[in-house]
Amino acid sequence: MPIFFERAFRVRHYECDAYGHVNHANYVRYMQETAFDASAAVGYALADYEAMGRFWLVRETDVTYLQPLRYGDTVIVKTWVSDFRRVRSRRMYELRLAATDQLVATAHTEWIYLDAATRRPTTIPPEMIAAFLPVDEDGTGQRRDKFPEPPSPPPGVFSMRLKVNWRDLDSAGHVNNAMYLAYLEDCGIQILADRGWSMDRMQTHGFGMFARRYRIEYRQEALLDDEVEVATWVSDVKRATAVRHYTITRISDGVVLARARAVWVWVNLINGRPIRIPAEFMAAFQDNVSREAEHSLSS
């Protein structure tokens, strides 16, 4: 059996968005803090990694949002390591309401084990594997779904530029994983306004858009003062859902720092139920929709 670890968080007011829901990025922050504590609980605190000259870096985050969290809620984050693969490991998460035990989100992160001096992957020592996965587990791994290859951007791909600020960084000196979600959200809100569908207009019409899943692949670190371009387009439009794709590219050299996909659902703001995407809304985004389908591979 893996080692399970739980931590409780009380939702702060500043963690909520204008809908009164915990912002998507804060789920990732809860997960990150719980992972740090879970590692310390089996003998590997951040200070221990620093002394060894090693650290873990997230390469992929995948979160499925099932129910919103609100101000005053207490959420229990449960986490465990499911496997190891030479230089990488997968950590699983369940988030539940403390009051009812209702499942509000599931997630996993893919971590790479790095040498701090070279910043290159290094083999995970067997004693570390044994600390996270007891002897009755071989830890050799689950089947992986590779990050889906997005469809080609349509003619109306939307992009915005931003500069990495000091507040975006964490103690590792690069943009924190959760901040990428903030960048994606900003881009999504900007394209809505650009196409005439501001958040205010949607609320006036009685509907909103809510993320059901975010999947992010981190390819390169974003650093202080990097200027980046966030580009976005849509595919796989269905009755009440669509997939929005994103790339984050460093302007100076054209390197793709991250890719992401989000599944969005259109919701009636009165009863919280999914609705058919309004035709008037969809008409404003026709040139932003790719007619190709995305695909994924397994490994």
N- to C-terminal Cα separation, the chain: 24
Task: Round to whole Å and give the CA distance between 110 and 142.
Answer: 12
How many domains does the chain contain in total? Answer: 2
Based on the domain organization, do 160 and 135 belong to the same domain? no
Entry pTM: 0.92
**pLDDT of the residue at 135:** 60
77 with 188, same domain? Answer: no
d(CA 278, CA 258): 31
Which one of 94, 111, 144 terminates a domain? Answer: 144
Shared domain check, 63 and 159: no
Do 114 and 182 sit in the same domain of this protein? no
Quote the pLDDT of residue 2.
87
Residue ending a domain, among 144, 167, 196, is 144
Q: Which of 95, 125, 144 is the last residue of a domain?
A: 144
139 shares its domain with 154: no
CATH code for the domain of 96: 3.10.129.10
pLDDT the model gives residue 214: 98
Q: What are phi and psi of 212, to 5 degrees?
A: -100, -25
110 shares its domain with 184: no
- Tell me: do 79 and 1 sit in the same domain: yes
93 lies in the same domain as 43 = yes
Regarding whether 283 and 179 lie in a shared domain, the answer is yes
At 190 the pLDDT is: 97
Are 102 and 77 in the same domain?
Answer: yes
Q: What pLDDT was estimated at residue 197?
A: 97
Yes or no: say if 178 and 15 are a contact pair by the CB < 8 Å rule: no
- Residue 297 is predicted with a pLDDT of 42
d(CA 248, CA 257): 6
167 is in which domain, residue-wise? 150-299
pLDDT at 291: 87
Low-confidence ranges of the chain (pLDDT < 70): 135-142, 294-299
**Shared-domain flag, residues 69 and 187:** no
Report pLDDT for 68: 96
CA–CA separation, 57 and 60 (whole Å): 9
- Do 209 and 155 sit in the same domain of this protein? yes
